[in-house]
Structure 1
Amino acid sequence: MQLLSGSLNIWCKLYGTLIATASFVTCASAQDLIYSPVNPAFGGSGLNSSHLLATANAQRDATASDANDGFGSTTDGTDASEQSDADLFVRQLEGRLLSALAGQVTDAIFGQNPQESGLVTFGTTTVQFSRTLDSISLLITDSLDGTVTEIIVPQLITGNS
């Protein structure tokens, strides 16, 4: 009987230990991670909008009205934003024509029949170019106001002749 009571005593201790251990162990549970945006523009809570707007305004150094539209001021001193549509069209047309002039000069220097020197005239602007062994020299003269600009571009020299 003592053997039976001893083994019962061991079983009771094991059972008690098992119950005590089980009470400390909890089941691990997991769930899917769900992304929820903060910005209301992307589906977040509308209550965040005033905070996000205040933060953006505090970080902004320049505004769209501070930006230069690329035209700057005109020769008569008026701001480019005060120009008429016709003035803007003339400026864009001048830019396109000057771009075509640059294309002609480039073609004369590097095209199908490259020239060693030449002269291209467009209105009051004259572009004179000359090619040397190590560089290409461009002399741009505006006869209207007498300004002269010289550009020297180095040529790529390779060992293959």
Structure 2
Amino acid sequence: MKKIFIVMSMLIFGLMSFEAKSQQLVYRPQNPAFGGDTFNYQWLLSSAEAQNTTRDPNDLSNDPFGFQQDPLQDFSETLNRQILSRLARDIVDRQFGEDAIGEGSYDLGDFQIEIANSGSGLNITITDVLSGATTNIEVPFF
């Protein structure tokens, strides 16, 4: 029993005599928001988006048919945009062309457009009938 104790103590003292080697641990953040490399941003973002399995049930972009909204409402909005674009082209052509546009009021779907000549140019007021929001545009004379 004493021999085992002596052998064990010699073994322990022998191991303790070896020099322990280690290196300094350095923390380097990965996330650019916390001081990490800025090139990691896209990788972290795409990784997070790939792992995100929660979906907003009210988000219409998750619709399997690809409709963002009612197709009839989309058609109506597209038609209104085209009419307003055409009217804008007409106003610019008439203002800067040979025929100056006259004063008047136009009703286009959900919009009411009033055109009036002022001392400094052409004054256009667009009113959204549904929300009551107005936009004033002044096209100066040259």
Normalised to the residue count of structure 1, the TM-score between the two structures is 0.39
Normalised to the residue count of structure 2, the TM-score between the two structures is 0.43
